[in-house]
Amino acid sequence: MLVTSLARDLYDSVAADRDPDPGAHYVRRRWLVGVFLVIGAVVLGVSLRVEPGDAAFYPLTIGLAAVWIVGAFVSGPLRLGAFSPTPARPPDRIGAIGLGVVVGLAVGGAFVVGGLVARMIPGVSDLANQVLAFADFGSLAVVTAITMVNGLAEELFFRGSVYSAARPHNPILVSTVIYVLVTMASGNVVLGFAGAVLGTVCAILRRSTAGVLAPAITHVIWGAVMVLALPPVFA
């Protein structure tokens, strides 16, 4: 039933994303999105190149979240969106929250299962450990909180501002490709792959619910699962 409702809302929302470009405010949004994309990519690349345990990691990741949040709100309005699991019930934000939770747990679980396979592949395992190593230093609670805040910030920007700026030119594809390219500023192919999967899922949620609430919750839950459940898999 949930999958059917998601597919229905995805189909119904396609027409809205094909509306003609309404004009000048899109030009402004696109310029601002471009500026913040460059800033964010630089900060992300620097933050993921510091050594695990380096005190600079925390301010850099917090600064990155600030870049995405400021960019999201400066570039234009954001919509929360709504969802209904059944045709008989009108879409609402509670439905969007529930959808985000379910999808977040499902994607997080899929990554954990994938990690069990990836840990047996030497090159892939090494790349994954480069990212997960940051969870081994400092307070786990702080690392988890920062990861969740960054997940929220990324959704506000990429599935909020970037997605809106990409309309009407296939915003699911465009926003996901841009998200992957920015993620690849880290130089880590595994992180880029994770960005491609998560970005696609969240972009589909963005279109299906017409807002950032569901994808933001999915990303936050996925991030928590990655920090709490994935390091033991690669230990």
Strand partners, 83: 92
- For the chain, what's the residue count? 235
Instruction: Supply the pLDDT for residue 21.
Output: 47
What is d(CA 64, CA 154) in angstroms, rounded to the nearest whole number?
A: 9
Helix (H, G, I), strand (E, B) or coil at 92: strand
Q: What is d(CA 80, CA 71) in angstroms, rounded to the nearest whole number?
A: 17
Cis check: omega of the bond before 91, within 30 degrees of 0 = no
Q: Are 208 and 103 in contact (CB under 8 A)?
A: no
Task: Give the distance, in angstroms, between the CA of residue 227 and the centroid of all CA atoms in the same chain.
Answer: 15
pLDDT of residue 11: 46
Q: Which amino acid, 82?
A: A
Cβ(67)–Cβ(36) below 8 Å: yes
Going residue by residue through the chain, which has 235 residues, state the pLDDT in tens, using 9 for 90 and above.
555 555 555 545 544 444 444 555 678 888 999 999 999 888 887 876 777 667 777 888 899 999 999 999 998 889 999 998 877 788 889 999 999 999 999 999 999 998 888 777 777 777 676 666 666 666 778 888 989 999 999 999 999 999 999 887 889 999 999 999 988 877 778 888 899 999 999 999 999 999 999 999 999 999 999 988 887 776 6
Residue 216 pLDDT: 97
At 136 the pLDDT is 62
For 69, other C-beta atoms within 10 Å of its C-beta total 19
pLDDT of amino acid 76: 86
CB 74 within 8 A of CB 63: no
* Model confidence, pTM: 0.86
Burial class (CB in 10 A: 0-12, 13-18, 19+), 214: buried
